[in-house]
Amino acid sequence: METFTSWPSWPQAEEPLARALPPETVDALRAAVAFAREKHGLQQRPTGRPYLEHLLEALEVAVAGAGVTDLDVLVAIVLHDVLEDTPCTEAEIVRRFGPRVAEFVGWVTRPQGIAKADYLGSLVKAPPQAVLVKLADRVSNVQELQRMPWRFQRRYYLETVAYIMPLAGVHPWFAAWYGEWRRHWHRRVERLSAY
């Protein structure tokens, strides 16, 4: 199963991005990364690593894995958690990055007071570009799921199979990646559930 952990910081991401994308897209991504770094501040991933690593992993998934080139989708991938996890507003995103980016980020932001299952279920109505943002986000989250406590692993596996994998069906690269991931994790989850 291919993993995407080669871009832990902007300097590691910039050169491969410059080989894959037009200069104006790289410039926009540089600005988005700076914005996300400012908004997320000292936030960390559950593993204790800087939060920016997750955003750059999701970006690597989209560019190096799925071959996504749509500038607004890629910027939305970098910004996908700013509404949910920081004081950032949708108006700030619109002002800095445009309404299309704000729309995609809005789709992948879980509204307060909404059950996670209801939120994930609503993504079937999302525009295809917003679905790409969610698919890249979840690849980053599940590619090294073994680092998390086993109860979390099982719950997250089941949630991904139920809600995220159906979204991947119309995106061949993501469908193949998640299919391979599921085969790998199915055996692991069965073993963990036996305990």
User: Annotated catalytic sites, by residue?
Assistant: 84-85
For the record, the structure tokens of 143 come out as 């590619």
**Cα 142 from Cα 185, distance rounded (Å):** 10
Look at the chain and count its residues. 195
Nearest CA to 84 out of 129, 140, 36 is that of 36
d(CA 163, CA 110): 14
Residue linked to tokens 């996504």: 68
Distance CA 67, CA 157 (A): 25
